[in-house]
Amino acid sequence: MRIAALDDEQSQLDLIKHAMQGIEHECHAYSEGKALLRDLRQQSFDLLILDWTLPDISGPAVVKWVREELASRMPILFVTNRSAEADLVAGLSAGADDFMVKPIRVAELEARVRALLRRAYPSQHETELQFGPYHFFPRARTLHFNDRPIELKHREYELALFLFQNLGRLLSREHLREAVWGRGPEEPSRSLDTHISRLRTKLALRPVNGFLLSAVYGLGYRLETVEVAALSAFGSSGMDGDEGMAA
């Protein structure tokens, strides 16, 4: 998962980043609230970890902005020196999902993050996933459409599963590249676009099958369901014969 951590103390950021990497999450560290807000306009994250007191903007103000400006309910965890009940109430009222008092205890931080992610993204923890006619078997790394297997290459399967697990979310290009290719030498942008194009064809991701994979210019991609009422406007048939089944 892709996590953003905001704290003006570098030692705290290093500790959080190390803890998140220890449970196999990508963690992007920020020491200024405005820098995080700038990136949130262009990128997507699965969870935010925020300090309360920052030099340029308060933690609650960041939470308020996220809840008002972003069409996202990603979980937000406060990790702060504040411990008064009034602060807890204020943080949760601003829109945070959990509250943890410093000093950071790594085991507790990991447990809270796991719990928040499990609640926010339950499909990420299922052994089988069904989305309309699409049936994923993560352990076997296979995907069936209307009970028929679709042959996908490794990256194509990873990308397809990630998109369906995040159904309805706008995922930034950086988020998708990290989820499928990992960090390191950046995967060329055109490779992501090529994989997206192939998935549209192989999975027949079009309204008649209940799903639409669309590009949001300058940001990324979103896989979303199409309402039944809208399907009647198309009048075309679904995936016929062996269309889209070849690797």
pLDDT band at 229 (very low <50, low <70, confident <90, very high): very low
| Alpha helix (H) residue ranges in the chain | 10-22, 33-40, 59-69, 85-94, 106-120, 154-165, 173-181, 189-202, 228-231
- Digit-coded pLDDT (tens) for 174-192: 999 988 887 655 555 578 9
List the domain boundaries for the chain. 2-120, 126-231
Is 2-120 assigned to CATH 1.10.510.10? no
> Which of 16-30, 113-127, 213-227 ranks highest by mean pLDDT?
16-30
Q: What is the pLDDT of residue 242?
A: 39
Q: What is the pLDDT of residue 246?
A: 36
Average pLDDT over residues 160-171: 92
What does the alpha-carbon distance between residue 226 and residue 13 come to, in Å, rounded to a whole number?
41
* Torsion sign, CA atoms 186, 187, 190, 193: negative
Q: What is the pLDDT of residue 217?
A: 85
CATH number, domain 126-231, options 1.25.40.10, 3.30.70.100, 3.10.20.30, 1.10.10.10:
1.10.10.10
Percentage above 70 pLDDT, the chain: 87
Instruction: Find out whether 210 and 225 touch, Cβ atoms under 8 Å.
Output: yes
- Digit-coded pLDDT (tens) for 50-81: 999 888 999 999 999 999 888 778 999 999 98
The mean predicted confidence, pLDDT, of the chain is 86
Kindly tell me the burial class for residue 68, based on how many C-beta atoms sit within 10 Å of its own C-beta (0-12, 13-18, 19 or more). Answer: exposed
